[in-house]
């Protein structure tokens, strides 16, 4: 308990420093003096001129929203992962397994194929089908409900295959020119399409969700003891589970609808947090959120700056995440949580 | 010392199987009740009905004249605690973290245990002479130590009615008796009603004030230990032939006849 | 008139008789000569006449390095992907198609030239798989396959069934021409293939004659938008890069390698292309992304020099003979002042006529090169 506060403070500091430095890193040259000039102009009420105009445009409309989104998505995905792991009492669970991404991809493809010019239709359908995928997975798991977590993983695989197949059918009948956005975007994720509109939607949702989870941090501890214990301690686990799954799935579906599926964050960040401060959600949730933000911010910074070609951020999270996860598994092999 | 819990004609069905039928008894405060029966006789189910985990389809349970079906889970949890038989693996919480979870019924939805709650948790461990376990990794300690941790958690939750499901299962020879002595002490000092399912009739004879014998989901006999624990009753309950082999003070202790014969004790 | 000289005539004939005889001999020689030359000429003509389905065994090497032997005429052709179908149409062999790639059945270009194309059996597509059974059931004399996506494996299986197949890989101007040549060799229409090659080269020459004069510093920069998305562009290896180059435009993504590559929006702004050319098949929804305020100052967006590759019948930015028209259109759009003396519409119509037998207007094709966002 005593070691948490300094850790949280240092994580916040790291996050802020990383954020600030990534504001000046990118394919488009924007230096610190440029940013100061922009801020000065903002305060003095004058408009920027010359070269600064395009720099300001790139900064305000591409770089800044992208960095902010990386923080939001990093926090949202990692905390949702932590909540899933508590609910299903299994550290190998993450929102990815419930087939959210497959549902979102299909929804988006459907939106593109349907006639009409409504761009938000794509977004809405993506969200709906992402949530539908979760609902179907959980529904199937409940129907079978022999060994809950294993059944959940299996049901997730079923739904994933189902939606992928539907997507293939859709492409077969309506995509003769291979126009539908590349599957790579959905499977590997990318923050390259982020706009302020997305932030206006995801920001409040992630914010409210995080606060909600944080408020229930003690209950999460109890839920991870199992249904029998939860009930005898005065908690109704089913209704808690339902509300927590809905909230975290909503966050995840929104994230996937905007940025595609970014793997590994929901799985390894909670583990890293637990390794650092233990499994008590009171300590572990804030650390999870901060670590998730830092990780995705760094990964996206690399994805968009290393080369002229944009690397899907999922590749970076997978390449760094997988070995880190293996290391954590090894390091904690005796503690009895895997 | 009055009646604290009333179980009236309780019936519980799981699917098509009737697990419990027509179970009625009364629990007085400050007494140690042992529920005896074979495996699968419905003992655990009965316990789970008593604290509201399972909903009976017939009959009712009243705690201090109030039907628990009308009480919220939280209210029930403040009166009844449970130490389960199985300890599923969880995240590597410290023992203290697990114990303090017993304070949940007294906390609001978004509240976190206060320093006082942690103090109470530590004291509960002290009562069981196990404060050294406080910072241990729950997943790494022995089954018996986990049992103690969960017992401490139950203590912190409430000392009105405690339900113990096979409390001595994972404990070694000495600690079995130590634990039950401690529990008996709680009954005397704090007026706790303890309802413990047990697999060893001799333990019941040693510690229980009252015994309830359950067979095939029905109560065969219930009452004071000395009256209930007779060869006939034990034989009927376990469907075996037993023989009294020892008498200490005014208590008889039993072993199955076949076991005695096999070890050639009575030659 | 005596045929032979009079035996009683003096040995030294008089010049009269000599001349007469010479004239006579002339006549005979001439007539024999004429006969001989006619026969030779006929033989020559017959030898060099473009033969359709000449039943002579021929061996050729396809673009996967396979040696393919065909004997007998080719009367039944199956194509398995659109560029192959287009090549077959360009060679005038569409009447011999008995099986077609499914995506081509409703293609407007093919329908304009062969209305019955929709009734042809579809054998699948290269991206989603070819139905082997359907293919074989059509008893083709020749199957045209793509080099990637298990084309080679398919060719081997067809060989087992004694069905000859050729693998082509049209990706650049050169390989488009080679593909046409190979199909032509297999089907005996090599002259036609040469014709098409010449047509293509003519157009390219017309373009490069003018664009070669533009110095590097004066060249405009261009950015190609692939059908996959606004920030997916063509790398230096791709046909579109070559088209840009010939049209006198520098592809900003020239240094990238590979197939279509994703780039970050920042990179797009940093490149600041003078021209943005969208693939014909880019979805309109994606075009709307140009409204992002960050892109406001990009030259192409600000000047509204954003266009779509024509045309609505067939894309001019994909590997096919039509790519030369794409290049022409591109050069014309980028440097209109250089191409004032060229009637683009006429060039386009003529090319279509020579290639397909109908002009673009006759096929009701439109350029469809305007972009709205």
Per-chain mean pLDDT for chain A: 85
Question: Could you give the residue ranges of the DSSP H alpha helices within chain C?
Answer: 15-48, 82-90, 108-113, 132-137, 151-160, 173-187, 190-211, 239-246, 265-271, 284-287, 299-303, 323-334, 344-356
Residue B151 banded pLDDT, cuts 50, 70, 90: very high
C288, two tokens:
């709307």
User: Do the Cβ atoms of C266 and A177 come within 8 Å?
Assistant: no
Which residue in A57, A119, A192 is closest to C296 by CB distance? A57
> Hey, which residues 185-204 in chain A have their CB within 8 Å of chain C?
185, 190, 192-193, 195
pLDDT grade for C277, boundaries at 50, 70 and 90: very high
**C287 at A interface, C-beta within 8 A:** no
Residue with tokens 């002259």: C191
Determine whether the interchain pair A278/B111 forms a contact, defined as Cβ–Cβ distance below 8 Å: no
CB A281 within 8 A of CB A289: no
Using the 8-state DSSP alphabet, how is residue C102 labeled? Answer: G
Task: Give CA–CA dist C180/C170, Å, rounded.
Answer: 9
Q: What is the pLDDT of residue B143?
A: 83
A226 contact residues in B (CB cutoff 8 A): 88, 90
Closest CA to C153 of C181, C132, C178: C132
User: Is C301 in contact with C291 (CB distance < 8 Å)?
Assistant: no
d(CA A71, nearest CA chain B) in Å: 25
On whether any CB of chain A is under 8 Å from the CB of C134, the answer is no
Cα B266 to Cα B255: distance, rounded to the nearest angstrom: 12
**Chain C CB within 8 Å of residue A29 CB:** yes
Please determine, for residue A240, whether its predicted confidence score (pLDDT) is greater than 70.
yes
CA distance B257 to C324: 103
Give the number of A-C residue pairs with CB atoms closer than 8 Å.
91
d(CA A23, CA C263): 18
Per DSSP, the three-state class of B213 is strand
Give the model's pLDDT for residue A116. 66
Q: Is A168 exposed, middle or buried (0-12, 13-18, 19+ CB in 10 A)?
A: middle
Confidence of residue A338 (pLDDT cuts 50, 70, 90): very low
A172 interfaces chain C, CB cutoff of 8 Å:
yes
For residue C1, is pLDDT > 60?
Answer: no
- Domain C58-188 is found in CATH 3.40.50.720: no
Q: What is the pLDDT of residue A147?
A: 59
Tell me, what DSSP letter sits at residue C290?
Answer: G
Among A27, A112, A168, the residue with its CB nearest the CB of C285 is: A112
| C268, C269, C270, C275: CA torsion to nearest 10 | 70
- Check if the beta carbon of residue B167 is closer than 8 Å to that of residue B203: no
User: Which string of DSSP letters, residue by residue, matches A35-80?
Assistant: HHHHHHHHHHTPPP-THHHHHHHHIIIIIHHHHHHHHHHHHHHHHH
Q: Taking 80 as the threshold, does the pLDDT of residue C357 lie above it?
A: yes
Strands B242-248 and C275-278: unpaired
Taking only the tens place, the pLDDT of each residue in A39-50 is 888 888 888 788
Assess contact for C334 and C273: CB atoms under 8 A: no
- d(CA A325, nearest CA chain C) in Å: 28
Domain ranges of chain C: 1-40, 58-188, 214-356
CATH of domain C214-356: 3.40.50.1980
> Residue A255 and residue A95: Cα distance in Å, rounded?
11
Alpha carbon distance A259, A193 (integer Å): 7
| Distance from the B118 Cα atom to the nearest Cα atom in chain A, whole angstroms | 12
Tokens linked to A269 = 């960040």
Cβ(A82)–Cβ(A281) under 8 Å? yes
Residue-level pLDDT at C93:
92
Do the domains C214-356 and C58-188 match in fold? yes
**For residue C168, what are the β-bridge partners?**
C146
CA angle C132, C138, C139 (to 5 degrees): 100
CA distance B117 to B130: 17
Please indicate whether, in this complex, the C-beta atoms of A57 and C128 are within 8 angstroms of each other: no
What stretch of H or E contains B252? strand B251-256
- C103 secondary structure, DSSP code: G
Q: In sequence order, what are the residues at sequence separation of 6 or more whose Cβ sits closer than 8 angstroms to the Cβ of residue B36?
A: B197, B198, B199, B201, B204, B211, B212, B213, B214, B237
How close is the nearest chain C Cα to the Cα of A316, in Å? 15
Bridge partners, B219 (sequence order):
B214
> What is the ipTM, given to two decimal places?
0.87
pLDDT at C48: 56
Looking at residue C337, what DSSP letter applies? G
- Do residues C273 and C252 touch, judged by C-beta distance below 8 A? yes
Structural tokens at position A18:
């990383």
pLDDT at B129 > cutoff 70: yes
Contact A89, A149 (CB under 8 A): yes
B44-74 per-position pLDDT tens digit: 999 999 989 999 999 999 999 899 999 999 9
- Buried-state track B238-258, b at ≥16 Cβ within 10 A, e below 16: beeebbeeeeeeeebebbebe
What pLDDT, on a 0 to 100 scale, did the predictor assign at position C13? 46
State how far the Cα of A302 lies from the Cα of A18, in Å rounded to an integer: 12
Dump pLDDT digits (tens) for A67-112: 999 999 999 999 999 998 898 887 778 877 778 878 888 888 888 7
Is C109 an 8 Å CB contact of chain A? no
Domain boundaries, chain A: 4-331
CA distance A71 to chain C (A): 18
Say if C267 is an interface residue toward chain A (CB within 8 Å): yes
- This prediction has a pTM of 0.81
Bridge pairing between strands B32-36 and B58-63: unpaired
Nearest-angstrom CA–CA distance, C122 and C134: 8
Half-sphere exposure of A95 (CA within 13 A, CB side): 34
Average per-residue pLDDT for chain B: 89
Q: Which of A27, A57, A310 sits opposite C297 (nearest CB)?
A: A57
C52 and chain A in contact, CB less than 8 A: no
Residue C314: phi and psi, rounded to 5, are: -155, 140
Measured at the CA of C99, the angle between CA C93 and CA C104, to 5 degrees, comes to 80
The mean predicted confidence, pLDDT, of chain C is 85
Rg over CA atoms, chain C: 28
Burial level of A115, CB count in 10 A (0-12/13-18/19+)? exposed
Name the β-bridge partners of B255.
Answer: B243
Phi and psi, residue C251, nearest 5°: -75, 120
Extract the tokens encoding C10.
């003096």
Is B in contact with C (3 or more beta carbon pairs below 8 Å)? no
For B185-197, write each residue's pLDDT tens digit: 989 998 999 999 9
From A53, which residue of chain C is nearest by alpha-carbon distance?
C297
pLDDT average, residue stretch B227-243: 86
Q: Smallest CA–CA separation between B226 and chain A, in Å? A: 32
Using the 8-state DSSP alphabet, how is residue C121 labeled?
A: P
Please give the distance of CA B26 from its chain centroid, rounded to a whole number.
15
Asked if A326 and A267 touch (Cβ cutoff 8 Å), the reply is no
Domains of chain B: 3-229 (3.40.50.300), 230-267 (no CATH)
- Cβ of A310 within 8 Å of Cβ of C283? The answer is no
Exposed / middle / buried, residue C125 (Cβ in 10 Å: 0-12, 13-18, 19+): buried
Q: Which of A205, A290, A285 is nearest to A251 (CA)?
A: A205
Residue from A229, A230, A281, A328 to probe the interface with B (highest B Cβ count within 10 Å): A229
The average pLDDT across C336-360 equals 90
Q: What is the pLDDT of residue A159?
A: 93
Residue entry with tokens 């045929």: C3
- Architecture of the structural domain at A4-331: Orthogonal Bundle (1.10)
* CA B102/CA B89 separation, integer angstroms: 18
Tokens of C138: 């059509």
SS3 per residue for C34-71: HHHHHHHHHHHHHHHCCCCCCCCCEEEECCCCCEEEEC
Instruction: Reply yes or no on whether the pLDDT at C89 is more than 60.
Output: yes
Question: CB distance B74–A234 less than 8 Å?
Answer: yes
Q: Which of these ranges, A28-32, B223-227, C42-46, C342-346, has the smallest mean pLDDT? A: C42-46
């Amino acid at each position: 308990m005593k070691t948490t506060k300094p850790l949280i403070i240092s994580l916040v500091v790291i996050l802020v420093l990383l954020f600030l430095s990534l504001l000046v890193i990118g394919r488009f040259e924007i230096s610190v003096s440029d940013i100061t000039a922009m801020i000065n102009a903002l305060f003095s009420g004058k408009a920027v001129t010359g070269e600064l105009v395009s720099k300001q445009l790139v900064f305000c409309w591409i770089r800044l929203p992208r960095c902010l989104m990386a923080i939001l998505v990093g926090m949202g995905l990692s905390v949702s992962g932590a909540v899933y792991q508590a609910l299903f009492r299994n550290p190998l669970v993450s929102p990815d397994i419930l087939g959210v991404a497959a549902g979102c991809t299909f929804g988006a493809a459907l939106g593109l194929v349907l006639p009409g010019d409504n761009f938000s239709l794509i977004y809405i359908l993506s969200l709906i089908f992402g949530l539908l995928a979760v609902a179907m997975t959980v529904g199937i798991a409940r129907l079978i409900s022999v060994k809950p977590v294993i059944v959940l993983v299996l049901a997730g695989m079923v739904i994933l295959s189902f939606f992928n197949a539907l997507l293939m059918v859709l492409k077969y009948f309506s995509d003769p020119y291979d126009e539908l956005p590349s599957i790579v975007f959905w499977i590997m994720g990318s923050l390259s399409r982020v706009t302020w509109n997305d932030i206006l939607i995801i920001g409040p949702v992630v914010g409210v969700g995080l606060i909600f989870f944080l408020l229930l941090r003690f209950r999460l501890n109890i839920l991870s003891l199992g249904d029998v214990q939860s009930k005898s301690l005065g908690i109704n686990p089913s209704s808690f589970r339902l509300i927590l799954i809905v909230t975290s799935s909503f966050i995840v579906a929104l994230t996937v609808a905007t940025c595609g599926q970014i793997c590994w964050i929901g799985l390894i960040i909670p583990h890293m947090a637990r390794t650092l401060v233990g499994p008590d959600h009171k300590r572990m949730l804030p650390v999870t959120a901060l670590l998730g933000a830092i990780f995705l911010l760094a990964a996206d910074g690399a994805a968009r700056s290393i080369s002229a070609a944009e690397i899907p951020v999922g590749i970076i999270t997978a390449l760094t995440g997988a070995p880190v996860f293996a290391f954590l598994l090894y390091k904690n092999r005796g503690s009895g949580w895997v | 010392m009055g009646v604290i819990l009333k179980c009236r004609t309780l019936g519980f069905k799981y699917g098509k199987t009737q697990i419990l039928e027509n179970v009625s008894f009364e629990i007085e405060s400050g007494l140690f009740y042992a529920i005896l029966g074979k495996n699968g006789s419905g003992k655990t189910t009965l316990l789970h009905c008593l604290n509201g985990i399972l909903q009976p389809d017939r009959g009712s349970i009243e705690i201090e004249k109030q039907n628990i079906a009308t009480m919220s889970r939280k209210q029930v949890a403040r009166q009844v605690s449970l130490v389960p038989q199985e300890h599923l693996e969880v995240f590597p919480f410290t023992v203290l973290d697990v114990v303090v979870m017993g304070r949940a019924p007294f906390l609001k939805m978004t509240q976190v245990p206060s320093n006082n709650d942690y103090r109470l948790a530590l004291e509960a461990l002290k009562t069981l002479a196990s404060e050294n376990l406080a910072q241990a990794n729950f997943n790494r300690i022995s089954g018996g130590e986990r049992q103690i941790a969960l017992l401490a958690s139950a203590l912190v939750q409430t000392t009105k009615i405690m339900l113990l499901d096979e409390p001595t299962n994972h404990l070694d020879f000495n600690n079995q008796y130590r634990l039950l002595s401690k529990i008996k002490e709680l009954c005397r000092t704090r007026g706790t009603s303890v309802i413990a399912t047990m697999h060893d009739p001799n333990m019941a004879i040693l510690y229980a004030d009252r015994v309830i014998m359950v067979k095939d989901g029905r109560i065969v006999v219930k009452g004071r230990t000395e009256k209930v624990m007779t060869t006939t009753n034990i034989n009927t309950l376990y469907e075996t032939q037993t023989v009294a082999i020892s008498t200490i003070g005014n208590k008889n202790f039993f072993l199955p006849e076949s076991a005695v014969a096999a070890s050639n004790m009575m030659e | 008139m005596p045929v032979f000289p009079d035996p009683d005539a003096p040995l030294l004939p008089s010049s009269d008789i000599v001349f007469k005889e010479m004239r006579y001999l002339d006549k005979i020689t001439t007539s024999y000569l004429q006969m001989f030359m006619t026969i030779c000429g006929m033989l020559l003509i017959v030898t060099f006449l473009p033969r359709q389905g000449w039943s002579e065994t021929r061996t050729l090497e396809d673009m996967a390095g396979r040696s393919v032997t065909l004997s007998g005429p080719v009367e039944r052709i199956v194509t398995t992907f659109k560029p192959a179908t287009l090549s077959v149409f360009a060679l005038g062999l569409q009447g011999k198609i008995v099986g077609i790639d499914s995506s081509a059945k409703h293609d407007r270009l093919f329908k304009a030239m062969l209305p019955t194309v929709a009734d042809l059996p579809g054998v699948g597509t290269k991206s989603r798989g070819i139905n082997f059974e359907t293919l074989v059931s059509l008893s083709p004399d020749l199957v045209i396959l793509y080099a990637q996506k298990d084309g080679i494996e398919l060719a081997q299986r067809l060989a087992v069934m004694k069905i000859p197949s050729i693998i082509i890989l049209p990706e650049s101007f050169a390989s488009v021409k080679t593909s046409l040549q190979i199909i032509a060799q297999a089907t005996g229409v090599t002259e036609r293939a040469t014709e098409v090659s010449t047509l293509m080269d003519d157009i390219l020459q017309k373009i490069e004659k003018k664009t070669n004069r533009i110095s590097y510093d004066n060249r405009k920069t261009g950015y190609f938008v692939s059908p996959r998305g606004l920030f997916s562009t063509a790398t230096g290896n791709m046909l579109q890069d070559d088209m840009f180059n010939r049209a006198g435009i520098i592809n900003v993504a020239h240094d990238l390698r590979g197939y279509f590559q994703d780039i970050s929006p920042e990179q797009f702004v940093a490149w600041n292309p003078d021209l943005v050319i969208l693939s014909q098949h880019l979805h309109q929804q994606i075009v709307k992304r140009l409204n992002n305020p960050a892109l406001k100052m990009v030259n192409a967006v600000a000047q509204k020099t954003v266009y779509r590759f024509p045309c609505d019948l067939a894309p001019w930015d994909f590997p096919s003979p039509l790519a030369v028209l794409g290049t022409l259109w591109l050069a014309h759009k980028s440097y209109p002042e250089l191409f004032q003396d060229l009637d683009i519409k006429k060039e386009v119509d003529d090319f279509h006529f020579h290639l397909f037998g109908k002009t673009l207007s006759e096929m009701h094709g439109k350029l469809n090169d305007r972009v709205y966002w």
